[in-house]
Structure formats: structure tokens, C-alpha cells
Amino acid sequence: MCRILIIQSRRAPERCSFERCAYQRAVDADVLFDVESTLNADRDWNAPERILDGYDAVIIGGSSDFFLHGGMAEDDAERAGAIEVLNRVRPLIEHIISSDFPTLGICFGHQLIAEVRGGNVTHDHIQKKMGTYDLRKTEEGRTDPLFGIFPDTFSGQYAHRDSVTTLPDGAIVLACGENCRFSALRYGTNIYTFQFHPELRSQDLLCARETAEMYLARGVSIESVLRESPEAPQLIARFVNRVTR
């Protein structure tokens, strides 16, 4: 059985549970997901080998509770909390990168890894969004083991205020979008990070419509920017299959 650790940065237990279920839904039953919260200050985050011991891969997930920038003042609680999370998981991310440990970084996780690797994460009004948007594979994406089978253009579910605005050290761009320069990155051979949420369906975002005003321009309804994204969830299954091989 494949064992995967989900690193969560969420306060609400129901959101933590939903995220875990969304990943489970995207893969075969033979995958066991465990959860570790970055809010657990008692965990020894300076011992990444112990945290990852016994796991085949790790997912550093999203968060609607913390923003590395978010257009907020530096002393804002959500922004200060995000910096605390970043500093807490930095040793883990550095170990992941140095060992090329199989990893998915999703949304906030995508941004955390980018920050550790020298990429700038900021509140970009042009790139912030919520809904279903197209991604275009790059030349590198066309030959990538995960992305290669997909059409040159496919869709994904997004919900983010911050964006990576400078390409991180060692990152290869696999897919980009009209309003998302670095939609999918790969570091080394086994580390993939996505600004979009491959675990989510359009109806999942519809159920989270109460948060839409954080991400959408005034007057834009969440219903108007949603459609299906059939290819994106396959990325999780393909990643797991690659790990287990």
C-alpha cells in the first residue's frame, strides 16, 4: 500500500477533512493518507527525515486561512501566520528538494516551495482568481511524465489571491495560463507544484461560494466562471502511480 502524508495549513477541522477526502477520491483505494498540521508547533519540524519516515510521498496542500502577501499589511494576522508556517516548514521543504523526495505542492504549498527556492510570491491583482481556467502546456510539459498525455490546453480549478511572480531556482514551467504565469512547475524529477487544485471539482468551488469575494472581481459570480476540469484530477492518480512504480 502507498502511504502519503498530507501537510495541511488549515484551522477548520471540516476543511481539513474535506481536503483529505478530495485527495482520496482522486486515487485508488490502495493509498493511505495521513495528515500533519503546520499549526502543530510541538512537532519537531527541524527533523524532516523523521516526519517523512515510512511515507512514499508528501502533499503540501492549500489554505484559505493564510496568505504570504494577500494585499494585507505586514502585521496582518493571516500574513504573519503564513510567514510562521513558512519558517516552520522550511527545513522540510529544503530536505524534500535536496533529496528529490516525491512531492505535490498545491496552491499554498506551491507558493511555500517557491518562496523557499527564491521565487517571489505576492498579491497580483491580474492573476488572482477563483473558478475554472485553461492551462497551456509548455514544451517541457509536452514531454513530462505526468503532463505528456494531456491535450495542449486543459482546464483546472483555481482559488488564490497570491501568485508566484518570479521563477524559483531550479523550477521548470510545465503549464501556464492567460492569468497564471506559473500554473505548474517541476523541481528535479519528483517534485511537482501547481497553483491550481487538481483535487477539486467545479461543484466543490460552488460549495465554497462564501469565500468567492476574496478572489473574484466585484460583480462576478462564481457560477459564471465554473465548468468541468476532467483532466486535472488525473494528475494526482498519475503522480501516485509513478511513485508506486
Q: What is the pLDDT at residue 214? A: 85
d(CA 83, CA 34): 24
Confidence of residue 199 (pLDDT cuts 50, 70, 90): very high
Give the closest residue to 131 by CA, choosing from 193, 230, 62, 197: 197
Does residue 217 form part of some domain? no
Backbone conformation region of residue 169, classed left if phi is above 0, alpha if psi is from -120 to 50, else beta: beta
Confidence of residue 245 (pLDDT cuts 50, 70, 90): confident
d(CA 31, CA 55): 11
Q: CA 241: distance to chain centroid?
A: 19
Residue 5: CA atoms inside 13 Å, Cβ hemisphere, count? 20
Does residue 219 form part of some domain? no
Q: Total domain count for the chain? A: 1
What letter represents residue 214's amino acid? M
Does residue 148 form part of some domain? no
Does pTM top 0.95 for this prediction? Answer: yes
Does residue 227 form part of some domain? no
Calculate the alpha carbon distances from 242 to 1, 56, 89, 143 in Å.
14, 11, 25, 15
Residue 197's contacts (CB-CB under 8 Å, 6 or more residues apart) are 62, 106, 107, 156, 157, 158, 159, 232
Q: What is the pLDDT at residue 218? A: 85
What letter represents residue 231's amino acid? E
Does residue 175 form part of some domain? yes
What integer is the mean pLDDT of 191-216?
93
Does residue 128 form part of some domain? no
DSSP 225: G
Three-class SS state of 15: helix
Does residue 156 form part of some domain? no
Q: What is the pLDDT at residue 221? A: 93
Q: What is the pLDDT at residue 78? A: 83
Range of the domain at 180: 2-123+163-199+232-244
User: Per-residue pLDDT tens for 94-149?
Assistant: 999 999 999 999 999 999 999 999 999 999 888 999 999 999 999 999 999 999 99
Q: What is the pLDDT at residue 152? A: 98
For cell 503546520, name the residue. Answer: 38
- Is the pLDDT at 29 greater than 80? The verdict is no
Catalytic residues: 107, 197, 199
Give the closest residue to 184 by CA, choosing from 149, 235, 245, 129: 235
Calculate the alpha carbon distances from 192 to 59, 109, 111, 143, 242 in Å.
10, 10, 12, 14, 12
Does residue 153 form part of some domain? no
- Is the pLDDT at 38 greater than 90? The verdict is yes
Identify the CATH number of the domain in which residue 56 sits.
3.40.50.880
